Chain A
Amino acid sequence: MEETLLRIRDITKNFGGLRAVDGVNIDVNTESIVGLVGPNGSGKTTLFNVIFGLHKADHGNVYFDNKRIDHLAPHQVFTRGMVNAFQLPRLFYQLTTLDNMLLAAREHKGDNLLNSLFLRKEWQHQESELAQKAMEILELLELAHLTFSPAGELSGGQRKLLEIGRALMADPVLLLLDEPAAGVNPILGRKIFEKIEHFRQRGMSFFIIEHRLEILMEFANRIYVMDKGKIVVEGEPTEVVNNPVFYEVYIGEK
């Protein structure tokens, strides 16, 4: 049964005189893949930043699972089940791939100072289990051979994959992906989306910023088109692509 998981209502964000996001309304349902497209500078990334709490909106509300989250800090949004993967991967470059994955674990006994010191046996056991889960995801993303390499040694494409893998590790209910296939070769890009669909079938929702229409056409359930901070077109992929406004906005830029 489809429910609205993420509801964005009238979100407006100004940046030094510029209206980056202007009265945006978006719905993302459970178990769906929603795409967000638009020319560069249309405010997509800013919108994402507002959603997961990096910036405060100047106006409007964001509801996740029917509860308001727009006043929460990023780490609190994470606790509610929303995870964000950045466009330019923000990995922990001095730490190993494995460490990066383990850090995404949702509830770790070892995160607490006192537990860390006194309940060693318990969190060691959890470490082992989490490592198992991490390795499964790394395997899926074909990164297992880099388990012990510092993240700084990974190539651009591998970093992108690790960014996504880390997000998956966090068991998100909703995953915000900012251009997951950018800078990655088309074959790998398609593979990423296949895995995204795989996770969608297992109950995850995705809200994805993506430039490449072909791929969204194939995988997305719904697409929103953004231009100069406003949503100008929305609907199912075929509807959107046949909309003349869409052509003005998108093709005009290309």
Chain B
Amino acid sequence: MFNSCVTGSLYLISAVALTLIYGLSRFPNFAHAEFMALGAYIGYSVAEQLGMGFPITFIAAFLASGALGVISYKVVFQPLAKRGASIIHLMIASIALGFIIRHSIGAIWGWAPLSFRVVWSSFDMGAVRVSGIWLWLIFAALALGGIMHLLLVKTKIGKAIRATSSNPELALSSGININRVTLTTWFIGAALAGIAGLFRAAGTRLSPLLGWDILLPTFAVTILGGIGSFYGAIAAAFIIGLAENVGVVVLVSLGLSTEYRMAIAFAILILTLLIRPQGLTKLFRGT
């Protein structure tokens, strides 16, 4: 149960980020994996190599990934979109961008898996001993979720993002500055991805391939929740988190390999697309 919350929290942060960007720019951004990886590595540098405390680490990861997101958009995706690139072209560009970032990270920090040396205090919850990092993750997920909710519902920019996401033409004619909305969305999306990556790395290990481990399940969550649906992503994150962890128990009891854990998210993904491609969107009005 606890594990489900943990997995769900991680997916929440990552998928909310992805769903924002996917909903606005209308293509699956595979470089999202590398936004996560960068956040993790910058966090590592700040925490381990510069010896800074954790709040600063998080802020650094947040800002660095966010910046990367904006740069990626301005340098790669915006020019492509201006030239009328198809969704597939944008997808492939995001994959190519992923190569560049991933191998730059590998070149700078090396490919050997790294670990955060920080020791997390452990707590006892019932019969289970849990590491503090996971509690922080759940807290962060709830906090970020709450902040994002307020942002999207109460602030002007948040409303602009929602408007542009659901109807770009209408938003444009309503005088919304689409460029600013897009840049903001990419910043927030990438920044959140960076945080997700940092948590993943802090709790497990750090390698340039970190993003890809979580990427496809993140897509599963985004699609189950409905692309562009913030609340859908939150619900889907916990559904899939639960499914994965329950699934592992089921697998073990059936005598199947736990390799299939990854396949659970994929299976949900495929089923969603085949049966109800819009995911959980309609269940959440006004998103």
The answer to whether A and B touch in the complex, with CB atoms under 8 Å apart, is: no
